[in-house]
Amino acid sequence: MNDFKNLNKQRQTLLKIKIDGFIEAAILAAKTNNIGFSEAVFLTTQGLIREMAAQSIEKDKARILMDAAFKSAFPEHHARVATH
């Protein structure tokens, strides 16, 4: 995962925008077919996980990657869960 840090800031930003666009397009495609947002997110996430499996990423590593991505988007979630 450190390869991303080797890109200059402009390339990092452009890559993030491009990947975000692919995700947005996948969710929009599902919603266009009258699938609700939750199901669209599920299908998109399921596709991402299938791709990780196809790339031979181990299940534990995939969970670590998904957890790290989740924490980066919802940083307060981890602290809240720890207090329950």
| pLDDT score of 8 | 93
How does pLDDT run along the chain (84 residues), one tens digit per residue? 578 889 999 999 999 999 999 999 988 998 899 998 889 889 889 999 999 999 999 999 999 999 999 998 898 755 555 544
- DSSP string for the chain: -TTGGGS-HHHHHHHHHHHHHHHHHHHHHHHHTT--HHHHHHHHHHHHHHHHHHTT--HHHHHHHHHHHHHHH-HHHHHHHHT-
The predicted pLDDT at position 78 comes to: 52
Contact by Cβ (8 Å): 45, 26:
no
| Residue ranges per structural domain of the chain | 58-84
Q: Report if pTM > 0.75.
A: no
Q: What is the rounded CA–CA span in Å between residue 69 and residue 63? A: 10
